Amino acid sequence: MTRRPPVREFLWWSLRAHWALALALLAIFTDAARWALVLAICAWAGGVVMDRAPTRRTSLARLGSPVVALFFAFAMADLLFGSGDLLSSVALLLLGVQSVKLLLPKGSRDGWQLCAIALLEFLAAAAGTDALSFALFAFLFFVASAGAMGALHAQEAEEAGRPAGGYAVPAGTAAAVLLFAGIAGFLVSAVLFAVTPRLEFRRVLERFRRAQGVVGFSDTISLREVTGGKMDRRVVARVEFPEPRPGLSPANLYLRGAVYSRYEDGAWRRGGATPLPVARAGFQHMVEEAAFPDSTADITLEPADHPALFTYGQTATIESGFGPILSDGNGNLSLPHAGHPTLRYRIRFAGVHPPAKGTVRGPGAGNAVFPAGHEEIRDLAVKVAGADGSDGERAERIVRFFGSGFRYTLSDPAPSIREFLFRKRAGYCEHYAAGLSLLLRGAGIPSRVAAGYLGGEWNEVGKYLIVRQSDAHAWVEAWIGGRWVTLDATPPPADSSPFRTRTGILGLYADWLRHRWDKYVVNYSMRMQADAVKGGVRTVRRAGEAFRFPGWEGIGGAGRGAAAVLFLAATGFCMFYRFLRKRRESRGEGSPFDLPKLPGPYARLVRRLDRNRFRRNPGETLQDTLIAAVRSRPDLSEDAARFLRLYHRDRFGPAPLASESREEAFRLADRLGRSISDTPRHQPPMDQQWGTLFP
């Protein structure tokens, strides 16, 4: 194997590290097929071993195209009959192509292609995560990228017969320049990120964007208020669930925007309490002390012309960069002013756990008032609920009452609640919610009507819920067992429902790209910035806790973490520098007996000889190998003799060749290489031709 100068050796390994880091990013931060990743990693390791040898791969090269075609078939089968995920199928195909190229011999063109694949893998990992640990891998990836580009430029120069340049720089210096440049850039970026206030682009963009009104969340809700807007398919919100409880189903969650406790003249109205700001500590708003939060949701609301703030279940806290948040004490949360731009906030809410005793806020008298003039509804409630059992059992009987004899209709709804309960028994979700709430109150169970959205469309590409106007819904919340319980008597929509939204795979990808843009560019807030900084501090502290020495407890947490990181960086740099130094010493760098590297045309001729099974044995010269190769081609004898005379003068003569003679040697080398590549494998030897040419 030809010896490489230490800097060339360092760049050679930087190129392989660049490819390996891209595979590591896919494995850690994406859901790419594990078997394909394992195959690519094994191909990387096998390619490194064979590139170092170097090993002839003639038979392996013949299998390259069939293997790529096989991976293409796998990717198409996965797209059509498997996951149906376009990105997953493309990743599978890229991993297959990458595996083949990693195993085969690599020219500079192959190296650039592998680097392009590595960049795509890096972008795929970046698009699939917002974890702070990705910053470390990104730093290592770009440091390796610098070395990879240097290696490929040097290889291109070698193949073109030009001086590669840069080999006079000591290996330790080259490593230090790359390492310290990466560290300095990373630290400067981190400091700027931490101390620079975020420029919230949305405030500028909203000047050119009119807020879109959303119906159903005013102070009054009628029997047509919610369903009237369900034909609109505009996106209202996108919801991510970073910390869901086990078994949580986003399609069954009720996103509440308003609750109504007073029934007057056929319509439901909000309670009369004056909204007051909730307690706040920094970015966190304390909404309800009685909740036991077991789930987290990140909600992005589109612009609207109402002040309602949407939440799930029993919300304990809301984290946001805006404020204050107002609460009327009856479940309504809102902003101080109507009309808002795109909002992003995080809620922590309870799913199934009841509040602790002693911290319960009662349902309020307004949620138990039965409207005057509806005595026949009260009599029906007593009859349906019965007198036996707990409030939960009686409420269940009332819900079951709507399960038979009632129907959901858009064309022929009842004009009033009396008509709906006693005669027509047909209506919208508003009919079911109003009728259920009145029957509960008639049975002595406090209740209220809630309006918002039920479920939505799950975007499997981005792992979030898309909530549209067509998901608008009304339901009931009843006070049972010391907490508000969601009850819904409306029949579930059928697959043929006109409100059912089906977005194709391309539409989901387009929505995912828009969501990423809105999240990380338009609506990237100071709260998100603060979360990232806090995550970094926690990571540094965890790293600091792994190293302790006498007097360690007297140092602050941030100081311990910083000391641990500096210690690890210094140790790693020293070990790397010693490794490079030992390699230089073992190779005898600077020895006067080392010959300069073969120019590009000569090196290409050697590789072509190797590919055509004329591999040089240890100690064998290029002359011996070329003579053995052209024995089957007597027509190349004169060219070979002329080339070898020029080659010996160029490599071992007292002075360099003239430019014309050197160009002639390069042309002869290329001509011989191409001619030998076209030589049939089995030809009778013709030894007699060489006796006079090379005595």
At 207 the pLDDT is 46
- Report how far residue 60's alpha carbon sits from residue 47's, in angstroms, rounded to the nearest whole number: 12
At 608 the pLDDT is 75
- Report how far residue 156's alpha carbon sits from residue 110's, in angstroms, rounded to the nearest whole number: 11
Rounded mean pLDDT for each run of 10 residues along the chain, 695 residues in total:
64 86 85 83 89 76 81 82 73 86 86 89 76 76 81 79 55 66 67 57 46 61 78 88 82 90 85 83 77 82 86 87 84 85 86 50 77 90 90 93 89 89 91 93 92 90 90 92 90 74 83 81 65 66 55 49 59 62 49 51 76 61 78 81 83 77 84 71 41 40
CA 218 to chain centre: 38
Amino acid at 428: Y
Q: Which two structure tokens, joined as six digits, stand for 384? A: 């349906």
Percentages of the chain per state (helix, strand, coil), in multiples of 5: 50, 15, 35
CA 525 to chain centre: 19
Give the SS3 label for residue 480.
strand
User: Beta strand 407-408 with 426-427: parallel, antiparallel or unpaired?
Assistant: parallel
Sole residue written with tokens 């939060």 = 293
Rg (CA), the chain: 37
The answer for 482, left when phi > 0, alpha when psi is -120 to 50, beta otherwise, is left
Longest dimension (CA), the chain: 126
DSSP 213-246: P-SS-SSEE-TTTTGGGTT---EEEEEEEEEPPT
At 488 the pLDDT is 93
Sole residue written with tokens 């609207």 = 304
Dihedral of CA atoms 47, 51, 57, 61 in degrees, nearest 10, equals 60
By the 8 A CB rule, do 227 and 431 touch?
no
User: Beta strand 235-243 with 464-468: parallel, antiparallel or unpaired?
Assistant: antiparallel
At 85 the pLDDT is 67
Q: Which two structure tokens, joined as six digits, stand for 90? A: 């493309």
Residues constituting the chain: 695
Residue 569's CB: how many other CB atoms inside 10 A?
Answer: 12
- Report how far residue 162's alpha carbon sits from residue 171's, in angstroms, rounded to the nearest whole number: 21
CA 53 to chain centre: 38
By the 8 A CB rule, do 370 and 441 touch?
yes
Q: In 3D, which of 542, 536, 573 has the Cα closest to residue 560?
A: 542
By the 8 A CB rule, do 256 and 312 touch?
yes
Sole residue written with tokens 């910053």 = 135
- DSSP one-letter code for 346: E
Q: Which two structure tokens, joined as six digits, stand for 243? A: 């910390």
DSSP 160-187: HT-----TTS-HHHHHHHHHHHHHHHHH
Give the SS3 label for residue 269.
strand
Dihedral of CA atoms 517, 522, 527, 531 in degrees, nearest 10, equals 30
Q: Is the dihedral of CA 188, 190, 195, 198 positive or negative?
A: positive
Q: Which two structure tokens, joined as six digits, stand for 432? A: 């079911």
End-to-end CA distance of the chain: 29
DSSP 618-687: TT--HHHHHHHHGGG-GGGHHHHHHHHHHHHHHHHSSSPPPHHHHHHHHHHHHHHHHHHHTS-S-----G
Amino acid at 78: D
Residue 555's CB: how many other CB atoms inside 10 A?
Answer: 14
By the 8 A CB rule, do 314 and 483 touch?
yes
At 204 the pLDDT is 47
Q: Is the dihedral of CA 213, 214, 216, 220 positive or negative?
A: negative
At 532 the pLDDT is 66
By the 8 A CB rule, do 292 and 353 touch?
yes
By the 8 A CB rule, do 464 and 385 touch?
no
- DSSP one-letter code for 2: -
